[in-house]
Amino acid sequence: MSDEQTLIAGSNISTAKKTFWWSLGIGTALELAFLITDWAFLLVVGFYYVAIAFMFNLIVFLNNIIFVCLHREKRMALILYTLLLLLNIPITFLYLNILFINH
């Protein structure tokens, strides 16, 4: 693998990490803000946030799947951080479950 390809694969790993943490952080902040304030507008914002975050996470996920196939040297790291992205799915369902139970 050339140095340029190694840098690109490393960039994809970094992007997957950042995407996971930002998605989790913003989603958690919206959930907590709604639970504390009961402001219905946050439900609307949260709905749009989930839709946008889903699309962005999907793009990063698919990009990493492509790079898993192309870059054998970084395959395990790419797979691990791609799986980390998938952790946002059950967390989202947990947050939705909490909203439905509490309201």
pTM of the model: 0.86
- Where exactly are the structural domains of the chain? 3-102
Alpha helices in the chain (DSSP H): 3-37, 41-70, 75-86, 88-102
Yes or no: say if 23 and 57 are a contact pair by the CB < 8 Å rule. yes
Q: Which pLDDT tens digit goes with each residue over 8-36?
A: 778 888 999 999 999 999 999 999 999 99
Amino acid 5: pLDDT = 73
Flag whether pLDDT at 1 surpasses 70. Answer: no
63-81 confidence digits (pLDDT tens): 999 988 888 888 898 899 9
Q: For the chain, how far is it from start to end, CA to CA, in angstroms?
A: 53
Looking at the predicted structure, is the pLDDT value of residue 44 above 90?
A: yes
Identify the CA nearest to 50 among candidates 1, 94, 3, 15: 94
Looking at per-residue confidence, does 72 or 58 come out higher?
58
